[in-house]
């Protein structure tokens, strides 16, 4: 059991039969009245975010969320298949569980499947990926000095903004959390 006074960012707990993750917390001790913990937390299954104040002595069951490395194999319509590299077991995952940032994942990349009591509720792609630009307008000479960007399609089909001097066939590094091009990737 953990108390609300022990809350920390990223901690998971069970309340009313659901699992929540602490996003932000703040211990507040007003000049008058009892202390409390102002908390912003999200439902890990549905993704909804709630702000609420707790009494620091309120007790909750700690929730153990499992993160497992799995290799993305292929998709068949709305079902995406992942493989455990140790046991070679395959896990079918519905497209509704995948986040927006999954558009940067290509086959054979290792992702983290996040589950609670055996039920997968989220797929976390690698933080940084190297992808090839498959389609973009040619670079114009002289566009290197300013922050000129242009849209480019990468090998997974996702569209990202790249600097104006980049061309098709270049390998770029992308931050999957923001969808931002970080520059050329090291080969």
Lowest mean pLDDT across 42-51, 103-112, 139-148: 139-148
Q: Per-domain residue ranges for the chain? A: 2-59, 66-124, 128-184
Q: Which CATH architecture has domain 66-124?
A: Beta Barrel (2.40)
Residue 144: which pLDDT band, with cuts at 50, 70 and 90?
low
Q: Which helix (H) or strand (E) holds 1?
A: none
Q: Please give the Cα distance from 34 to 30 (Å, whole number).
A: 7
Confidence at residue 17, expressed as pLDDT on a 0 to 100 scale = 83
Q: What is the pLDDT of residue 39?
A: 92
State yes or no: pLDDT of 87 exceeds 60. yes
CA distance 95 to 105: 13
Q: What is the mean pLDDT of the chain?
A: 86
Would you state the pLDDT for residue 140? 65
* The pLDDT of residue 115 is above 70: yes
pLDDT value at position 136? 87
The 10s digit of each residue's pLDDT in 20-58 is 888 889 988 888 888 999 999 988 877 788 899 999 899
156-163 LR contacts (CB < 8 Å, sep 24+): 156/103, 156/104, 156/105, 156/106, 156/131, 157/103, 158/103, 158/104, 158/131, 162/133, 162/136
Report pLDDT for 118: 80
Give residue 99's pLDDT band: very low, low, confident or very high (50, 70, 90): confident
Find the mean pLDDT for residues 78-85. 91
- What percent of the chain has pLDDT above 90? 26
Residue 141 pLDDT: 64
Q: What is the pLDDT of residue 67?
A: 86
Supply the pLDDT for residue 95.
86
The CATH number of 2-59, from 3.40.50.700, 3.10.100.10, 1.10.1740.10, 2.30.30.30, is 2.30.30.30
Task: For residue 104, give the nearest of 120, 125, 124, 123 by alpha carbon.
Answer: 125
Classify domain 128-184 by CATH number. 2.40.50.140
Structure tokens at 45: 């299954």
Residue 4 pLDDT class (50, 70, 90 cuts)? confident
Same fold, 66-124 and 128-184: yes
């Amino acid at each position: 059991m953990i108390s609300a006074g022990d809350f920390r960012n990223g901690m998971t707990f069970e309340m009313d039969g659901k699992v929540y993750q602490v996003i932000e917390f703040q211990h507040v001790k007003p000049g008058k009245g009892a202390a409390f913990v102002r908390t912003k937390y999200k439902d890990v299954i549905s993704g909804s975010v709630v702000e609420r104040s707790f009494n620091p002595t309120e007790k909750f069951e700690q929730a153990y969320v499992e993160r497992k490395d799995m290799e993305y194999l292929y998709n068949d319509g709305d079902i995406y298949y992942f493989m455990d590299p140790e046991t070679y077991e395959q896990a079918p995952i519905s497209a509704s569980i995948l986040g927006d940032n999954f558009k940067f994942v290509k086959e054979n990349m290792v992702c983290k499947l996040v589950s609670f009591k055996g039920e997968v509720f989220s797929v976390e792609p690698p933080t940084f990926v190297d992808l090839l630009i498959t389609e973009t307008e040619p670079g114009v000479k002289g566009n290197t000095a300013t922050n000129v960007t242009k849209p480019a399609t990468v090998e997974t089909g996702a569209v990202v903004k790249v600097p104006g001097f980049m061309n098709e066939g270049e390998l770029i590094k992308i931050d999957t959390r923001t969808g931002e091009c970080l520059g050329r990737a090291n080969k």
